[in-house]
A and B are shown apart, each in its own frame.
Chain A
Amino acid sequence: MKRKLFDFLNFFILFTVLTAVWWFLYLLKIWPSWVLPSPWSVFAKIFSGLADFSLVSGMFISLGRVIFGFSLSFIFGTLIGFLISKNIWLKTYFKPLILGLQTLPSICWLPLALLWFGLNEKAIIFVVIMGTVLSVTISVESAIANISSNYIKAGLILGANKINLYKYIIFPAILPSYINAARQGWSFAWRSLMSGEMLFITVGLGQLLMFGRELNDMSQVMAVMIVIIIVGAFFDQAIFAGIEKRIRLKWGLTNR
C-alpha cells in the first residue's frame, strides 16, 4: 500500500515537472502557439472533448475495434504458433515467411484491405489483425521452442500423455511468455488501429487526431495524442502488467 502511494507520488511529481518544462518553453515564445500550444489549452481540449462526448465516443469506438481485432489475432496467433511448433515442415518453410511478413509495417496492408473490403470497418479490422497476429504467432512459437526439455522429460516420465503434456506442462510452462506475447500484441494492435483510422472516415480516435490537423488545431492534435497514449498505456499496465506480475511472483521470478 505504502509502495503504491510512493509510486503514485513519484509519477505525479514527474508529470508536474514535465508540464512545468512544457509551460516554460511555451512562455519563452520561441515557437508560435500553433506549433507549441500551452499545456492548459491542451488540457482544456481534453476536458471539453470529454464533456461534449466527442473524445469519449471516439475512445469507445476505437476500443471496440481494437478489442475485437486483438481477440481474433490472439486466438489465431496462438493456434498458428502451436501448429508451427508441432510441425517440422511448417517450421522450416512457413516460419521464415512469417518472420518476413512481420517486417512489413501494418499500415502497408491498408491499400490491399481497401481494395478487398472497401472503405469500411472490415478493412480497419483487417489491418489490426495483420499487424498483430504475426507477432503473437512468433512469440508463441518461440516460447514453446524455449521450454526447458527437462520439463517435458519429467512430464513424460511421470506418465503424461500427449494431451496432458500440452495441458499440464507446455501451456503452463509458456504462460509468462504468453502473457508477454499478449501484451506486445496489444500494443501492436493499438498502433495498427490508430494508423488505420487516420486515413479515412472512421469516427475513432485516429480520425479525431486527423481532424485536428485539418483544422490546424495543434491543441486538439496533442490532446488526442495524449488520450491515445493514456488508453494504450492503461490497458497495458492495468491488465497485462498486472497478470504478468502475479505469475512472475508465483513462479519466484521477481520479488515485487
Chain B
Amino acid sequence: MLQINGLFKEYKTGEGVVTAIQDLNLTVQKGEFVCLVGPSGCGKSTLLNIVADLDTPSKGETIKEKKCGLMFQDPTLFPWLKVKDNVAFGLKMTGMDKEEINKKVDYYLDLVRLKEFKNAYPHELSGGMKQRIALIRMLIMEPEILLMDEPFGSLDAQTREDLYAILQNIWLKNKKTVLFVTHNVREAVCLGDRVVVMTARPGKIKKEFIITLPRPRELSDMEVIKMSNIIKEELRNEIQQVIKETEHYEKKII
C-alpha cells in the first residue's frame, strides 16, 4: 500500500517561492493500478521523485512498503553495460549469487522476448526494446510498488500498444501496486483501475474516476475511448488555466 498524506513541495526561485504540490492526499491500495493524469508542469514527476525518496517534501509524509521501483520517460539504460548487465545491475548491488542472477536475468529477458539481445549494448536496441529492458530492470528487483513516470511517452503508437499489452500481462500475473504518471488520458484509462486527475500549478488532486472495464484492455476499445472523453472534458479547463498562466508569466517577463 502507498499512502501520501498532506504533501507540500515548494521551490525557491528568483521570483519567490513556487508551490509545485499543494496539500496532496492519495492512497493506493495494495495491488491497485493508479494512473495520475494532469497537464504538464503540475508536479507529477516531482511527486514520483518524492515517493521514490529521490526528493524530500516540504511538508507531509509518504507511508509505503520499502521497495520501490522507478521507471523514467527516458529508458536511462547504462550505455556502458551490456543489456544483461543492465538488467542484472540491481541484483548485483544486493550481492546475490552470480548463478542465480543469471537465471533471473534470463527469465525476465524471456518475459519481454529479448533474450537474443542479452549481449547487445543499449544503443543497438530500438526505443521500444530499451523501454522493455528498463521495465524488467525494475521488475527484477521485485519491488512492492512500481512508480512509472510517463514511461511510454516517447514511443511511437504501435510500440506503445505492444508495451501496454506486456505491462498488463505482467501486472495481471503478480498484481503489484502501481502509480503511473501520464498526460495521456486514454493511456491512463487503458491501464488503470483508477484515474486520478491533478490540477495545474500548484498540483493537487481534482477528481478521481474508477475504471471497471474488463482486462486486458486495448487503446482502441470503444469503452476506453468513451471514458477517456469524459475525463478529457474534465481536464480541458485545467489546460486552459495553464495556458492562461503561462501567458501571464510571459507578459511579466517581457
Contact = CB atoms under 8 A, between A and B. Distances in A.
A151 B52 CA distance: 15
B78 A151 contact: yes
A160 B93 contact: yes
A158 interface: yes
Given A150-B76, A151-B76, A153-B70, A158 B93 contact: yes
B68 interface: yes
B93 A150 contact: no
Contacts of A92: none
A164 B70 CA distance: 19
Contact of B78 (A153, A156, A161, A172): A172
Contacts of B123: 251-253
Contact of A159 (B49, B79, B94, B124): B94
B52 A250 contact: no
A159 B93 contact: yes
Contacts of A159: 90, 93-94, 141
Contacts of A250: 79-80, 121
Interface residues of B, number: 23
From A158, A160, A161, A253, residue with most partner B Cβ within 10 Å: A158
A154 interface: yes
A157 B70 contact: yes
A150 B79 contact: no
Interface in B122-176: 122-124, 137, 141
Interface of A: 148, 150-151, 153-161, 164, 168-169, 172-173, 175, 250-253
Given A151-B78, A252-B124, 17 more contacts: A148-B76, A150-B76, A151-B76, A153-B54, A153-B70, A153-B72, A153-B76, A154-B72, A154-B76, A158-B90, A161-B93, A168-B89, A169-B78, A172-B80, A172-B81, A173-B78, A251-B79
12 contacts: A148-B76, A150-B72, A150-B76, A153-B52, A154-B72, A155-B89, A157-B68, A158-B89, A158-B90, A172-B80, A250-B79, A252-B79
Chain A to chain B: the 8 pairs with minimum beta-carbon distance, closest first: A252-B123, A158-B90, A159-B93, A172-B80, A251-B79, A150-B76, A157-B70, A154-B76
